[in-house]
A and B are shown apart, each in its own frame.
Chain A
Amino acid sequence: EVQLVESGGGLVQPGRSLRLSCAASGFTFDDYAMHWVRQAPGKGLEWVSGISWNSGSIGYADSVKGRFTISRDNAKNSLYLQMNSLRAEDTALYYCAKDQEPSIVGATGLDYWGQGTLVTVSS
């Protein structure tokens, strides 16, 4: 059974940093690309960032480019999101999601999702 478990969320002041983690199990982690998707309270889904199976291709939404960094450790079956210079508008539930493909290039689908970790940016 595929499982994705996010952690690292919490309350943080504007301008500070936070690192999210996603522990994956139930599939061959290094065969697939992975993504972070967020959902602000009462709002829709927003793709944040994606990383290919070997970290060779990485993409970011314009809203987080230059502030967030995605990474993965295939030896630990883990995905990470380093979030710097956090803003109030970054407040959201952050989901870790598995891609159907090893590459992030092209329109690919997200076939498994975690339950999310909540990030609240407020003073």
Chain B
Amino acid sequence: SYELTQPPSVSVSPGQTARITCSGDALPKQYAYWYQQKPGQAPVLVIYKDSERPSGIPERFSGSSSGTTVTLTISGVQAEDEADYYCQSADSSGLIKVFGGGTKLTVL
């Protein structure tokens, strides 16, 4: 079955830039999406179609794509950004959605 691979954890100091990667063979053909999930809360969509930002999401959140890897970048990280982040896409058929394993962002 298709898999998306994320690092389990990323740590940054406040004000620095955090980069979270997500790798998958079908990513050159399928869009990627990013979700933020804080403890006890439902996920929130922060990036769609690789690099688009929904209304209400701070500009410090951005997304990019290169080959089989997509990247979520958080510039000027704030304490409130500490959360789990998940990438999501679809397999080559487009019918099966897949989430990455998630990355815990720690703000030191």
> Is B a genuine binding partner of A?
yes
List chain A positions with a Cβ less than 8 A from chain B: 35, 37, 44-47, 50, 57, 59, 61-62, 95, 100, 104-111, 113-116
A106-B1 contact, Cβ under 8 Å, with A45-B99, A111-B45: no
Asked whether A107 lies within 8 Å of B102 as measured between CB atoms, the reply is no
List chain B positions with a Cβ less than 8 A from chain A: 1, 30-33, 35, 37, 42-45, 48-49, 54, 84, 86, 88-90, 94-102
Asked whether A109 lies within 8 Å of B48 as measured between CB atoms, the reply is yes
Measured in the bound complex, the distance between the Cα atoms of B44 and A43 in whole Å is: 17
Measured in the bound complex, the distance between the Cα atoms of B45 and A106 in whole Å is: 17
Q: Which residues of A contact B96 (CB under 8 A)?
A: 47, 59, 61
Asked whether B31 lies within 8 Å of A113 as measured between CB atoms, the reply is no
Q: Which residues of A contact B45 (CB under 8 A)?
A: 109-111
Asked whether A46 lies within 8 Å of B49 as measured between CB atoms, the reply is no
16 A–B contacts, CB within 8 A, in A order? A37-B99, A44-B99, A44-B102, A45-B35, A45-B99, A47-B88, A59-B96, A95-B42, A100-B48, A106-B90, A107-B97, A108-B31, A108-B97, A109-B33, A110-B88, A113-B42
**B32 CB → nearest A CB, Å:** 7
**A70 CB → nearest B CB, Å:** 13
Contact of A105 among B33, B43, B48, B94 (CB under 8 A): B94
**B107 CB → nearest A CB, Å:** 20
**B23 CB → nearest A CB, Å:** 15
Q: Which residues of A contact B101 (CB under 8 A)?
A: 44
**A103 CB → nearest B CB, Å:** 9
**B10 CB → nearest A CB, Å:** 15
**B50 CB → nearest A CB, Å:** 9
Asked whether A47 lies within 8 Å of B48 as measured between CB atoms, the reply is no
A107-B32 contact, Cβ under 8 Å, with A44-B86, A45-B86: yes
| CB-based closest 8 A-B pairs | A107-B90, A107-B30, A47-B97, A113-B42, A109-B33, A44-B102, A109-B48, A106-B94
